[in-house]
Amino acid sequence: MPSLDKRVNSTLWSSFFQVSNTDRAMPPWPHWPLVYHCLTLVIVALQAACLDYYLVSFNYDPKHESASYWWITWIVADVLVLALMIATFFLSRKYLHPFEKRDRNAERRNGEATKCRRSRRGHLGILPHAWIVWLLYALVLVGKIISIFQTFGSGLVEKDVFGINLLEFTLGGTAAVFMLILSTRPKELATAAQRHYLRWMQHFVLLEIIDCAEFLTLLFTEVELGTEVTPLPEAMRRAILAFASINILAPTLALYRLSARHNRRPEKTIWRNFYLAQTVVGTIFGNLPYFVIRVILWHDHEFVTGLFAMKNLIMIVTDGRELSAYVRDLRKGRHTEDYSESGSSDEEEEDDMTAPKKEINTNEEGRETRSLKSPPDLRTEDEITVIQNL
């Protein structure tokens, strides 16, 4: 018979391995979605602080101090944006945490793992409420951009620290904010269709945001009209601001596709082709007017805009081919989803796996009888042992 010390040691070792198996299911550190949330808040705060400094310092007038202080109200809008981001990040983590926890606890004995069965509350997507965050952030950013270029933007010089280069760099941070928002989604919960859509957003939407930031730099340039050197004509300046503002707001459609309720069964809704809506908006209000304005400035005023003009031309041709193929399929009655429906069916299977299954049996007389088949037991071996001891 083993001694007491050996039995105690064996008990300690067994409890140690049980704890180790439990720790194996814990989330790895660092927890990347949380890191991306923090980085998003930091970049948004730095971008807002830099733009606020431009607005307050360059619009300050010692003769009208009371009117100059009105520019400080942009700080209130920035605080609202950051507060909304924190709230939506918290709600998204609260919504997605039960699914991630059940996925981590889906391990089985003998080292095998099965897919977690879960039911989604509210049927939200993998980026809950992200479109609301981007919409408010983009509205505040567009307001600041219009205020800057309608007041002092054309008078900035490259030699100053707070000049053209820093403002361009700050506006380019919009692409980083969008990329970080996409990175906050849990990779384990994304279906094949959602991953396909995310890859499209990372390539198409991100490139359009960078192009939009570069397009705004045309407002810093001056043209020769006769013997005078003046800024761009007012009509062209307003057109540049209008199209750039639309393209900053346009990613709201793409983010809504990943956060709306209909994302659970996209093939059963009228909003089944959000990527087409994004393509149409990006072409009509983005690449097409960008290309026309850049060619005009290139031809009439010898601007160096050939690289991005070629990018706009390539995207116009590519988007035109996609839209023509879509219209051709509609006429032939072969309207399909923008990507395979297998991705969305994965979620439906996960949602319906908790429900009892109907099993069809045949009795002796040859008649079919239906019986409910309960789902498999998902409890671990330790939980079953504890229940039996009770």
Distance CA 228, CA 335 (A): 57
Look at strands 368-373 and 222-225 and give their pairing.
Answer: unpaired
Q: What is the DSSP letter of 201?
A: I
Residue by residue, DSSP assigns 87-144 as: HHHHHHHHHHHHHHHHHHT-B-GGG-B-PPP---STT--SSTTHHHHHHHHHHHHHHH
Q: Please report the pLDDT score of residue 289 as a whole number.
A: 92
Please list the pLDDT of the chain residue by residue as tens digits (390 residues).
555 454 545 544 444 444 334 334 444 555 667 788 889 999 999 999 999 999 888 877 666 665 566 778 889 999 999 999 898 878 776 665 555 555 444 544 444 444 444 444 444 555 667 888 899 999 999 999 999 998 888 778 878 888 888 999 999 999 999 988 887 765 555 566 666 667 777 777 888 888 998 899 888 877 766 666 777 888 889 999 999 999 999 888 878 877 754 444 444 444 456 667 777 888 888 899 999 999 988 887 777 778 889 999 999 998 888 888 877 877 776 544 444 433 443 444 344 434 444 444 544 444 545 544 444 555 556 555 545 555
Residue 228 DSSP SS3: strand
Q: State the pTM of this model.
A: 0.69
Which residues, 6+ apart, have CB-to-CB distance to 32 below 8 Å? Answer: 183
Distance CA 232, CA 227 (A): 15
Q: How far apart are the first and last CA of the chain?
A: 28
By DSSP bridging, strand 357-362 and strand 222-225 are unpaired
- As to burial, measured by CB atoms within 10 angstroms (0-12 exposed, 13-18 middle, 19+ buried), residue 76 is exposed
Assigned token pair, 379:
């409890």
Question: Would you state the pLDDT for residue 64?
Answer: 60
Angle at 201 between CA 307 and CA 174, to 5 degrees: 65
Phi, psi of 235 (to 5 degrees): -65, -40
- Residue 357, SS3? strand
pLDDT recorded at residue 138? 95
Where in the chain are the domains? 29-102+121-333
Report residue 224 as tokens.
């020769």
C-alpha span between 376 and 388 (Å, rounded):
18
DSSP symbol at 203: I
> Given this model, what pLDDT does residue 62 score?
63
pLDDT at 368 (0 to 100): 47
